[in-house]
Structure 1
Amino acid sequence: MGKNLDKADITLLTLLQRNTRLGLEALAAQAGLSAASVQRRLKSLRDRKVITGEIALVDPAKVGMPMTFVVMVELERERLDQIDAFTRRADAEPMVQQCYYLTGEADFCLICTASDMEAFEELTKRLFFEDSNVRRFRTSVVMGRKKVSLEVPVAAG
C-alpha cells in the first residue's frame, strides 16, 4: 500500500475526500473503528502531510467568477530561478486556481478563473505580458464544467 497506509487509512482518506464534514463518529462507524482511533489516524495523516489541506468546493458562477480558462505557458528560458519566479507569481495570483510544471511543449499549465473576459485580459497582462521570460501562452476557454475534483484514488499499492 502507498506511503505506509493500511486499509483503515485508505477508507478514511476516501471518505474525507468525498465529504470533509463527516464527524468522528460517522467516520468511525463507516471505517469500523473507534472515534479515538479515527482521531489518532487523522492526526498522523495530517502530520505526515498525506492530508495537505481541507477545503470547501465553491461554485464559481455563484460567486461572480463564471469563466474558467486553461492556459499553456512557454518560458523563454528554463533556468531554475526563472521557473521559481514564474511559480511564485502564479501562486500569488488569486485568479490562478492550479499551476502545473510540465514536460513537453509547454512549461506550465494554469487553470484560471475570472468574472469576465476583461478580468482575464488584465490577468494576462500581469502574468504574461509583463514577464519578459514568457515566450508565449495559449488559452482555451472552458465551455462547461463536466467534472471538477481534486480527489485522488486511494487504493492498495
Structure 2
Amino acid sequence: MSSTQAANIDGFDRKILEIIQQSNRTTSDQIAEQVGLSPAAVQRRMKRMREQNIIQSDIAVVNPKAVGRGVTLIVQVTLERERLDLLDTFKKEMKAHPAVQQCYYVTGSADFILLVTAKDMEDYEGFTREVFFDNLNIRNFQTNVVMDAVKTGLSVPVILEES
C-alpha cells in the first residue's frame, strides 16, 4: 500500500480498523454503533478496504503452546551471496515453510530475520538442518530463544494523534 492509499483512509475507516484489529468477530452492527455509521456503510467500507489490501487478511490467532509449538525463536540469517535469484529462492522457501511465522529481508549485519516456532529444541535442530545446513548459500545464522513473549501481535496504530 502506498502513502497515497493511506491518505484515502478517513477517520471512520481508522476507527473501523482499530476495532477489527482487536477482534475481527465484531459485527458490522456493533462497529456501526461505535463509529456512528449505518451497518451497510461499515460493510461497504470494509469491502473497499479489503479490495485495496488495506485489510490484508481476516485470521484467528492460535496460541502456539496449545498446539504443541511452545518454543519461539528469532533467527538472524546471513547469506553467502545476495544475487537476486538466490534472494528470491530463499524468500520463496521461507514463505512456504510452516515453522516460519514471519520473515523479513533487512539491512544491517544479517540479511533476514525469521520468527520461527518449534515443538522443542530437537524440533528446531531439525529445522536448522533442513533450512540452513542443507543450503549452500547460508553463510551463518544466529538464534535467540524467546524466554517470555512479553507482547506479540500484528496490530498497527491507525488513529491519528490530534495536535
Question: TM-score category by the smaller chain?
Answer: over 0.9
Higher relative contact order (CA 8 A, sep 6+): 1
5+ residue gaps in structure 2? none
Q: Which residue is 1:94 aligned to? A: 98
Residue identity matched to 1:132: L
1-structure distance, mates of 2:16, 2:149: 28
Q: Which residue is 2:114 aligned to? A: 110
Q: Which residue is 2:71 aligned to? A: 67
SS of residue in 2 equivalent to 1:156: coil
> What's the offset of the Cα at 1:80?
1.1
1:93-130 deviation digits (Å, cap 9, x = unpaired): 10000000000110000000000111111111111111
> What's the offset of the Cα at 1:91?
0.8
1:117-146 deviation digits (Å, cap 9, x = unpaired): 111111111111111101000000000111
> What's the offset of the Cα at 1:4?
0.8
Report the TM-score, using the length of structure 1 for normalisation.
Answer: 0.97
5+ residue gaps in structure 1? none
Identity %: 46
Q: Which residue is 2:11 aligned to? A: 7
- RMSD value over aligned CA atoms? 1.2
Q: Which residue is 1:44 aligned to? A: 48
Task: Give the 4+ runs in structure 1 shifted more than 6 A.
Answer: none
